[in-house]
Amino acid sequence: MAHKVVLEVKDLRTYFFPRSGVVKAVDGVSFDLVEGETLGVVGESASGKSVTALSILRLVPHPAGRIVGGEILLEGEDLLKKSSAEMTKIRGKKICMIQQDPMTSLNPVLSIGDQTTEALRTEDKMEPKSARQRALELLERVGISAPEARMGNYPHQMSGGMRQRVVGAIAISRRPKVLIADEPTTSLDATIQLQYLRLLKEIQAETGVSIIFITHDFGIVARMCDRVAVMYAGRIVEIADVRRLFSEPAHPYTVALLRSVPDLEQEVEFLPAIEGQPPRPENLPIGCSFEPRCPLAFDRCRVEYPPEFTVAPGHSARCWMLSGKD
C-alpha cells in the first residue's frame, strides 16, 4: 500500500541579497516526503541544507534573505501562502525542528519545566497540571533520569546530551507530522549519539512522524535514512534509496563523497579528497556547479546546467554523463 505524501517541496528558491550580489543559497530544490519516512540530506558546508530547512519552516532571516519562488506543500497546503500568524500555529504542531546546538533552542533563564510545558499550555490550552504530567512523560520517554527533579533545572545545569534530549522532547510534545533534524548529534559523543539515534527511530515507529535528517555523516545516513538527497551549491544533484545510493551512486560528486568515507576494514595512508572548493553561491558557474572539480567534465558541462535524468525508478541525478541513459 502506497504511503501518504506529507510534504512536497517544488522548485524552492531562497536567495540572500548582500551588497556583493545575489546569493542563491537554495536554487530550485524539489523533493517529497512520505508518512513515516526518513529522508537524509547530505552535502558539504554551504550546500544549502540548513537554508532549505529554514525555508520549509519560513524562518529565513529577513530582509537579508527571501524565498523568491517555489511551493512548500504540507498535507496539500502551501506554506508560502500562509500568514506569519498561521505559520506560528503550524510550527510545533505540524512541523518542528531540532537544531545542532540545543543552547540555541533553549532559553537559559527559563527552567526545563517551563520550556517543556510552554507550548502545551499556551497553544494546546492544557491545564498546568495536565501539561506538567505530559512534560514528565516526555522527559522520561527521551531518557531523562529523575524527570521530576530535572523540571526545576536550567539548561546550563545539564550536559549537552541531556539538553539535546530535552529539545527532542519539546519537538515531539505536540505530535508533529514532520520533524526536521539539522545535524542534531554533532555535539554529542559517540555513545550518546547512538542512543539518540535509536531514540528517534523508536519515536518514529510509535508516532509515524516523517523525518528530514540533515547530516554530513554517511554512517548516520546508513543507520537512519530510507532515502538520501545529495545537495551541492544550492541544488539536489542526486536522490535515491539509501541502499542504491551507497551501491550505485550516479553523480560524480556523490561518488567522491562516498570515497572520502573511511573504510575500517582497509588500511590506507590517506583518504581521497575532492579537489578544489565549492563555488561561491553569489558567483555560480553557467554550467554544472561541480564542473570545476569534476574529473569527468567535458565541454557541455561548462556551458549548460544538466536537467534531472532518471537512473532507475526512484533514483535520479543531474549529470550530463547520464544523458544517454535516461
How many Cβ atoms are within 10 Å of 319's Cβ, its own excluded? 24
**Region of residue 11 (left: phi > 0; alpha: psi -120 to 50; beta: else):** left
Q: Is 82 exposed, middle or buried (0-12, 13-18, 19+ CB in 10 A)?
A: middle
Query: What is the Cα–Cα distance from 276 to 280, expressed in whole angstroms?
Result: 12
Query: What is the Cα–Cα distance from 64 to 303, expressed in whole angstroms?
Result: 30
Q: In the 8-state DSSP scheme, what is residue 21?
A: -
pLDDT digits (tens, 9 = 90+) for 44-97: 988 999 999 999 999 999 889 999 999 999 999 999 999 999 999 999 899 999
User: Strand 315-317 to strand 235-241: parallel, antiparallel, or no bridges (unpaired)?
Assistant: antiparallel
Contact status, residue 304 vs residue 287, Cβ threshold 8 Å: yes
pTM metric for this prediction: 0.91
Residue whose C-alpha cell is 542526486: 238
- Angstrom distances, CA of residue 64 to CA of 59, 61, 79: 12, 6, 20
- Angstrom distances, CA of residue 165 to CA of 66, 154, 161, 278: 32, 14, 6, 34
pLDDT digits (tens, 9 = 90+) for 217-272: 898 999 999 999 999 999 999 999 999 999 999 999 999 999 887 765 666 667 77
- The domain 5-94+177-264+271-278: what is its CATH number? 3.40.50.300
What are the DSSP E strand ranges found in the chain?
Answer: 5-16, 23-34, 38-42, 65-74, 77-78, 95-98, 178-182, 210-214, 227-232, 235-241, 309-312, 315-317
Q: What is the SS3 assignment for 222? A: helix
pLDDT at position 127 over 70: yes
Sorting pLDDT into bands at 50, 70 and 90, what band is 1? very low
Parts of the chain belonging to CATH 3.40.50.300? 5-94+177-264+271-278
Residue 201 identity? K
Q: In the 8-state DSSP scheme, what is residue 81?
A: G
pLDDT at position 159 over 90: no
Taking residues 186-199, what's their average pLDDT? Answer: 82
Confidence at residue 249, expressed as pLDDT on a 0 to 100 scale: 97
Task: Please provide the size of the chain in residues.
Answer: 326
